[in-house]
Structure 1
């Protein structure tokens, strides 16, 4: 069985993330979407909220599961017995960073391969940070995030 992990902060999950998840699910028998628990960041959604949002927006993709991890991705992958990491690329700047990370992961665990997927052109400019910034200043993010995420963001900012 070919299993891959698609790691990220997913704060919030965007339609760009969902695009990579669904396309990865066609390539692998199982895809684990793994939310990084990063204590040094101040996220909009806590880890449990991000996990639940990911479960909701991927409920129609049968071979996707959602999990979380902290520490090194390569340790998580080793502990799960996974040999493939999926990373989405939007631009050359993403490639430079992700290439370095892939080489480091490979140095730490020679059994791990990183698969780069180019994002669909309609999402090439999209990032979670940009979505949060636009939303914070009351800009329209409809079509950039799944409807369930938009609803959760409205509720979060209202509260």
Structure 2
């Protein structure tokens, strides 16, 4: 039986921490779908299409990873793609408290879908997309934070 997992997020932009979770998920599951949230209430730096493209470029060696976007409830997306697991990366205790609440709601919506938590590699635990954008705004070195395609895209946005 093929096991499909969904790794959801806004990924604005995708960081090395995100890529760590995606890569590790790809080693565990047969199929991993990176689901880019289209949140109309936020003003992202990158469009959904740009974020998807950057994730595809950054994961092009992971043959079992796909990239898609979604609006609305994550659970609807998960069911539509016949996934059985949601993967959430955790950096801190604060992340856990929020993600535990979301996992409980998702479990209430569909008891057949499990949420797996993966602790982000400690090398990336300090990273967030917001921090990366702030560092990029001041043209500091991004090599330890994002993949080369993302670094180039950030430089273009802030030049």
The answer as to whether partners of 2:135 and 2:142 remain within 8 angstroms in 1 is yes
Query: Alignment partner of 1:106: what SS?
Result: helix
Tell me the alpha carbon deviations over residues 88-144 of structure 1, each in whole angstroms, 9 at most, x when there is no partner: 000100000000000000001111100000000100111001111121123322210
Residue aligning to 1:146: 147
- Normalising by structure 2, what TM-score? 0.97
Structure 1 residue 85 displacement after superposition: 0.2
CA RMSD of superposed structures (Å): 0.8
What CA distance in whole angstroms lies between the structure 2 residues aligned with 1:157 and 1:144? 16
What CA distance in whole angstroms lies between the structure 2 residues aligned with 1:122 and 1:45? 25
Q: Is 1:65 the equivalent of 2:70?
A: no
Compare 76-85 and 16-25 and name the one that shifted more: 76-85
- Normalising by structure 1, what TM-score? 0.97
Residue aligning to 1:109: 110
The answer as to whether partners of 2:16 and 2:124 remain within 8 angstroms in 1 is yes
What CA distance in whole angstroms lies between the structure 2 residues aligned with 1:119 and 1:132? 19
What CA distance in whole angstroms lies between the structure 1 residues aligned with 2:155 and 2:80? 37
What CA distance in whole angstroms lies between the structure 2 residues aligned with 1:87 and 1:110? 17
**Stretches (4+) displaced over 3 A:** none
Matched pairs, number: 158
* Residue correspondence of structure 1 range 1-159 to structure 2 within 5 A: 1-158=2-159
Gaps of 5+ in 2: none
What CA distance in whole angstroms lies between the structure 1 residues aligned with 2:76 and 2:31? 19
What CA distance in whole angstroms lies between the structure 2 residues aligned with 1:116 and 1:39? 26
What CA distance in whole angstroms lies between the structure 2 residues aligned with 1:140 and 1:58? 21
Gaps of 5+ in 1: none
What CA distance in whole angstroms lies between the structure 1 residues aligned with 2:59 and 2:93? 28
The answer as to whether partners of 2:136 and 2:158 remain within 8 angstroms in 1 is no
What CA distance in whole angstroms lies between the structure 2 residues aligned with 1:73 and 1:152? 27
